[in-house]
A and B are shown apart, each in its own frame.
Chain A
Amino acid sequence: MSSSGGLKMLARALAASVVREGQRGGADDVAAICTTEDVKMIRFSNNQVTVAKAWRSSAVSVMLAMKKKVVIGSIEDLSRGSIMKSTDYLLKMAKATRPNRDYVKLPRGPFKYAIFQPSLRSIQSSNLVEHVKSTICSATSCGAKRVAGALLFRNVSTTLETSASAFGEDTISSLEISVRAFADGDASGHANSCARVEKDFHPEEAGKMAAEIAKKAMNPVEGKPGRYDVVLGPNVFANLVNDVMSAASAFNVDAGLSFLANMLGKKVASTEVTLIDDGTLPDGLNSRIFDDEGIPTRRTVVIDNGTLRSYLHNSSTAKKFKSSTTANAGWIVPQPWNIVVEGGQADDETLLGELDDGIYITNNWYTRFQDYRAGDFSTVCRDGLFRVEGGEITQPLKGLRISENLPRLLKNVSALSKRRQWIKWWEVEIPTLTPHVLVRDVNLTRATK
């Protein structure tokens, strides 16, 4: 297997040759991104490891534009013959296709990029297994009968070169664990820990937290449908603001897939809500120093105290919306890097204390929209779900679903906790730093038996 230095040289050479060949073939713009991934994952269930996985791959993604005709290729077959053949194929495609009138030329570099502190680059398999063992042990010692989850280590190196003189290299690594503990058949809890450096990684605490939720969730009763004041745990709000940020992508606004269309400068949430995209965070799992067009990443306030301030843009969407790029390219679809929800003033307990007769929802899954433009959606409550009366958890519940309108829910946010937590797991694709959130008058429904 190639050394990391060798891979870096290979990535540089590949990016340069793709850009050169593209220009030689008549392209006006070429951008090449070479990615080398080294990933290890340990999945566990029923208190034991089910599979240990490792994958390593190198890939080149290419965007090529010729008279505004845009083609994109992703190549994981990195033989020289394949790369050249693929570049030729892209050029032929570009000649045959039709212009994208929204396309604008790649931004002209060179750019000056920040330098991130290096994070952990590799980790022994045996250390990963030890993390899993201690997580399972931590959960079972707190009352879990069964523990399941996935531990992930990623090291990703990215090299970008464009025909507009942008060149950058970046490496990021991270550790993530997602833990689900079961105290009995219907009682489960979920927690996670994710970090860029091992000292900030706390799998045992995640195991403990998942088990504590599961224990509290034992012997649930069927929840009653109705409108409730609810406290959404960080898992739930992270899941929902992933959809808000997707709606903030200018591509989705243009495609009719956003309830934020035509809302710039207007109130889209309560004044408590400030939502930020930040590609520059040293502890962000998805930080990168440049976007896919080579622009240095930045911090973008999307919702500022309830008012929509910005969409997420690449150069082309920015021009279409008469705005500036926010360094969120995506050659076609602007994407968030890391999502940050500003914290509030309350302690977690104080938030629960606001509920005279409400519900605490610790996790959710399967969020689906009936109409992205209107924001009508539902999502299923999962794991610990609790009735709260007089500010105290009085009864574990099951079987409820949030059936709401996302703009309405955002406007009904009443308070946020001071303490925040990074969330990333199966249901939260973009890493999100978020507090607990109190939302008034939320519609909860349930299935008929």
Chain B
Amino acid sequence: MQRIHLNLGRALESRDQELKEIPEFAINYAGSLGAKYSEVRIQKDTSNATIIKNGEPQFSGFLRELGLGIRLIINGALGFASTNELDKTSIAETILSAASMARASANTLRRPILLSNAKASKAEWEVKEKRKLSSVGVEDKLKLLLDTDKSFNIKGGPKFPARILSLSETVTEKIYLNSEGTHILSRIPRVAFSFMVTAYSPSKGTAQRFNKKGESGGWEAVSSWNVPTFASEEAEILASVLTKGKRPPKGDLDVVLGSEVVGIVCHESCGHPFEADRVLGREAAAAGESFVKVETLGVRLGSEHITIVDDPTIPDSYGHYLYDDEGIRASRRELIKNGIVNTLLHNRETAAELGIESNASARAVAYNREPIIRMSNTYLESGDHNFHELIEPISTGVYIKSFMEWNIDDRRFNQRYVGLEAYLIRNGELKHLVRNPVLEITTPRLFMSVDAVGKDIAFSAATCGKGDPQQGAPVWTGGAELRLRHVQLGWA
């Protein structure tokens, strides 16, 4: 494997001898305190962001984080500690703190915390920037945002009195080491563009839209989005939704969901309930549990058209990684295969509890956060219908292409999606726009009602929230469009 160049590595090498020895020192010190297992992650996050509001630059800013997180198992209990004071004395005290808290909690355990077996790995991986992020100055970013802001102006159409646009980038560098001999170096740049705008018409009121693009890579990703054109299209759609949208039909109907909505469905109703830490109750207090149980593996949850995948290895994806934060090689996971519950998302702790191996789902978003089970890029596999074939047999129905409001209960069973761009389907053809159609449905009903899936896959970028403290993880959500038969549709 080609040696990668970490600014983090250079930063450590450029300091004194003591800093170079930090990772090994930390592992050895944890061992000397009686840790049966320990892992050290030194992580540097370098972020830049530029934000404008209503055509006015608000601020440009940056975030520089560099610190060390250590996780250890001592007396069967798990401890995590972090510091950004990178001297041996501070690090030793950090490790001591993790060890003493773990020791103190050990006598609450009915059985010790175990990790699944894992082969020691030594690897270096990175995502290249074809056009370096550092080659684009703040003035260029600001100009792009201000030019894009002009897209929210439609002659003779509704006004866009409130607009927030932002461009951001983060380069994450990690050195990971554990007491089993795994040693991973990584570097991943990510870029994102997002906006939140309000369209207003005196007679129609307001309509709002948030949307986001995000990828791993360099400035070439931003160039490929053609941001002003993207914004211009979004403005036209939002204006039409506001001015032309009519009340949708209500009742037992057929519904076609666009990729954006399918993506949030896959994320909320499949990805989250398939996180094994939820299934086993570890997230019960905050993020919640799951309607999926260990016994649900092998059980039918959806029609044969439903295959939902979580895949961190998709090149250039926002949720991309090649090794997780426990040093396990990443792979594609089929969560639901042809409607059958196939596998959960695991880290080494949950895998050990089920007597299997981890499938590399542990992610930590900063040096001071413990790795927990996260999604990466979660999507519905494609089917064999083109869009015309999806809507053709529908006599009366609704095509929900995008959404704003959504939520789901903490067992991931009872969900609601309120459409933004949505159209009436009448006799197999798309008709006029409809406003705020509401799909409020249980997960099994939703997945069992699918009778056809589209050919084309599209993704949206999102930030997934989970953990206590919260960890916002970059992910893609997406998939192919799908058709639901005989579901209850309402309107807000």
Contact = CB atoms under 8 A, between A and B. Distances in A.
Contacts of B200: 373
A46 B81 contact: no
A148 B57 contact: no
A59 B83 CA distance: 11
B281 A78 contact: no
Interface residues of A, number: 93
B468 A150 contact: yes
Contact of B61 (A44, A69, A73, A446): A73
B329 interface: no
Given A332-B59, A369-B404, A126 B97 contact: no
Given A180-B285, A332-B59, A447-B441, A40 B101 contact: yes
A100 interface: yes
Nearest to B45: A76
A417 to B, nearest CB: 26
B416 A57 contact: no
Contact of A98 (B57, B405, B445): B57
B490 to A, nearest CB: 8
Contacts of A73: 61-64
Interface stretch (B122-130, B183-191, B304-312, B407-415): B407-415
B159 to A, nearest CB: 10
A254 B55 CA distance: 12
Contact of B54 (A99, A254, A379): A254
A257 to B, nearest CB: 7
Interface stretch (A291-299, A360-368, A430-438): A360-368
Contacts of A366: 407-410
Contact of B442 (A56, A58, A448): A448
A101 B59 CA distance: 11
Contacts of B61: 71-74
A385 to B, nearest CB: 11
Nearest to A448: B488
Contacts of A332: 51, 58-59
B284 A45 contact: yes
A42 B101 contact: yes
B138 A255 contact: no
Interface stretch (A47-55, A108-116, A275-283): A47-55
B285 A43 contact: yes
Contact of B80 (A52, A373, A426): A52
A107 interface: no
Interface in B1-57: 15, 44, 50-51, 53-54, 56-57
Contact of A57 (B83, B93, B113, B370): B83
A256 interface: yes
A71 B490 CA distance: 46
A213 B155 CA distance: 57
B139 A96 contact: yes
B405 A257 contact: no
A332 B50 CA distance: 13
B161 A256 contact: yes
Contacts of B113: 50
B207 interface: yes
Given A1-B93, A56-B82, A149-B285, A370 B405 contact: yes
Contact of B368 (A55, A78, A251): A55
A437 to B, nearest CB: 21
Interface in B286-337: 286-288
A25 to B, nearest CB: 16
Chain B contact surface mostly: strand
A71 B61 CA distance: 5
Contact of B285 (A59, A102, A150): A150
A425 interface: yes
Contact of A71 (B60, B105, B406, B492): B60
Contacts of B207: 371
Given A74-B62, A125-B97, A255 B409 contact: no
B101 A52 contact: yes
A305 interface: no
A51 B370 contact: yes
Given A256-B198, A376-B405, A447-B415, A178 B286 contact: yes
Given A96-B138, A369-B404, A449-B442, A77 B66 contact: yes
A86 interface: yes
A378 interface: yes
Interface string B244-266: 00000000000000000000000
Contacts of A98: 57, 139, 142, 146
A42 B64 contact: no
A323 interface: no
Contact of B79 (A53, A79, A251): A53
A132 interface: yes
Nearest to A382: B410
A228 interface: no
Interface string A107-150: 00000000000000000011011001100100000000010111
Nearest to B53: A255
26 contacts: A1-B89, A50-B113, A51-B80, A53-B101, A54-B81, A54-B101, A70-B58, A70-B59, A73-B64, A77-B64, A97-B50, A97-B142, A98-B146, A125-B100, A128-B101, A129-B105, A132-B105, A148-B285, A256-B161, A332-B58, A365-B409, A368-B405, A369-B208, A373-B162, A403-B492, A448-B487
Given A93-B138, A378-B416, 12 more contacts: A1-B89, A41-B468, A48-B110, A53-B79, A74-B64, A132-B105, A132-B108, A255-B162, A366-B410, A373-B162, A380-B409, A447-B441
Nearest 10 A/B pairs, CB to CB: A256-B162, A52-B101, A49-B105, A148-B284, A370-B405, A256-B198, A77-B66, A72-B61, A366-B407, A426-B286
